[in-house]
Amino acid sequence: MEKIIDRFLRYVAVDTQSDPDSESQPSTARQLDLLKMLKDELEGMGIKAELDEYGYVMASIPSNCGNDVPAVGFIAHVDTSPDASGKDIRPQIIHDYDGDDIPLKGVPGMALKTSDFPELAEYKGQTVITTDGTTLLGADDKAGVAEIMSMAEYVMTHPEFRHGEIKIGFTPDEEIGRGVVKFDVEKFGARYAYTMDGGKIGELEYENFNAASATIHIQGRNIHPGYAKGKMLNAILIGMELNSLLPVEQRPEYTDGYEGFFHITGFNGTVEEADFSYIIRDHDLGLYEKRKETLLKCVDFINGKYGEGVATADIRHQYYNMRKEVEPHYHIIEKAVKAMEAEGITPIIRPIRGGTDGANLSFMGLPCPNIFAGGHNFHGKLEFVPVESMEKATKVILNIISLFAGE
């Protein structure tokens, strides 16, 4: 079997960054490069696979232990976050990690510091893959992709391994909230599924944020600064004023657990006009709706002060908390717990401070909790993943399959 580290490095070498401003599906054609690669690799293993017009790879491994075992699926997304470059990734591989700071050699003076990331100590003696500081790594979610593909290769090369029908899915555009918009759950054919899209080893999640994105447009009025008194409306400053109306303590850097937040993710503007981008998150549906109302009240305040139409808001729902769709099928959580414990892993069951394709899939009739893929510091240039965590994730997948088969 191919080593998971080699598989992972092949996948991160492909630029698959998604684009929130694109209206196409997938949002970027470059994602299809990896999706086609995965389809071909699955077929090379002897697995029936297809890539549809929307960028979904679906594959199926027939049961070898009867038809009374429910079909179980495993899903990962191929795109990387628009928050940092995913092109020309140059991973650093640290064998037998010594527990000290890790210099990121692409940027002088940049390092993964143990003082900032004490969790690094948990991986002393392991093989850790980092970025070189110039790009993200892509462990979110190419670690999950590699783990599912390693599972598939194991199943196909070990005919003695008993299993029910196994479904495999790879999706585009998860990072921009459109990962399963056109995913055909009935065609996929699984009764239950798991996304391999979590963080550190042991994570198991079936609760996530309710989520929306928001764009605030500020229409200013540019007048020559020498004659601007009483006339100029500086869109940049007005947008900054609107942002200052939002509660500081409800930013991501000050929240944890079940606490929601307002997060400004982008700004682009001039004196004449400016756009401010936000994401809005809360586990509680009522508080989520109040957060959207709060942002609209800020817009109303700005318009009351500077004139109607100076500020406009476009708020778009992204996904709901999947807990109420997964909890009635709690046995799939229990199987994941047992599968981890069999590998000596202590399950960490907690709410996702984010979202996965599984959130929307759960509301589409496919209960779909989330399992660790092993990475840390997603969406940025300090991302890293221990190889041993990916290896363990693959074993957890195989254990889940065995538990569904009654083994």
> Please, which pLDDT band fits residue 285 given cuts at 50, 70 and 90?
very high
Q: Is the pLDDT of residue 140 over 90?
A: yes
For residues 145 and 20, state if they share a domain: yes
**Which two three-digit tokens encode residue 58?**
């679906």
For residues 170 and 219, state if they share a domain: no
Residue range 84-96, pLDDT digits in tens: 999 999 999 999 9
Q: Which of 100, 96, 89 is nearest to 130 (CA)?
A: 89
The predicted structure's pLDDT at residue 13: 97
DSSP structure class, residue 52 = -
DSSP structure class, residue 124 = T
For residues 354 and 398, state if they share a domain: yes
For residues 245 and 184, state if they share a domain: no
Predicted model pTM: 0.87
Query: Which positions are catalytic?
Result: 79, 174
The predicted structure's pLDDT at residue 112: 97
> Please, which pLDDT band fits residue 68 given cuts at 50, 70 and 90?
confident
The predicted structure's pLDDT at residue 356: 80
- Mean pLDDT (the chain) is 96
To which residue do tokens 């989330």 refer? 370
> Please, which pLDDT band fits residue 194 given cuts at 50, 70 and 90?
very high
68 vs 343: which has the higher pLDDT: 343
Note the Cα 65 to chain centre separation in Å. 34
Domain extent for 363: 4-208+321-404
State the angle between helix axes of 4-12 and 387-404 in degrees (0 to 180), rounded to the nearest 10. Answer: 110
For residues 109 and 191, state if they share a domain: yes
d(CA 264, CA 277) in angstroms, rounded, equals: 6
Measuring CA to CA, how many Å separate 353 from each of 124, 166, 190? 27, 29, 26
For residues 240 and 312, state if they share a domain: yes
Q: What mean pLDDT comes out for the span 139-162?
A: 97
The predicted structure's pLDDT at residue 283: 94
> Please, which pLDDT band fits residue 66 given cuts at 50, 70 and 90?
confident
Residue range 229-276, pLDDT digits in tens: 999 999 999 999 999 999 999 999 999 999 999 999 999 999 999 999
Lowest mean pLDDT: which of 55-69, 218-232, 265-279, 349-363?
A: 349-363
For residues 228 and 306, state if they share a domain: yes
Residue range 368-406, pLDDT digits in tens: 999 999 999 999 999 999 999 999 999 999 999 999 998
Q: Which of 257, 287, 319 is the last residue of a domain?
A: 319
Residue range 304-358, pLDDT digits in tens: 999 999 999 999 998 899 999 999 999 999 999 999 999 999 999 999 888 788 9
The predicted structure's pLDDT at residue 104: 97
- Read off the amino acid at residue 374: G
Total domains in the fold of the chain = 2
Beta bridge partners of 93: 129
Q: Which of 319, 343, 366 is the last residue of a domain?
A: 319
Q: Are residues 186 and 71 in contact, defined by beta-carbon separation less than 8 angstroms?
A: no
For residues 135 and 25, state if they share a domain: yes
The predicted structure's pLDDT at residue 272: 98
Ramachandran region, residue 133 (left: φ > 0; alpha: ψ -120 to 50; beta: rest): left
d(CA 191, CA 197) in angstroms, rounded, equals: 19
**Which two three-digit tokens encode residue 231?**
């006339």
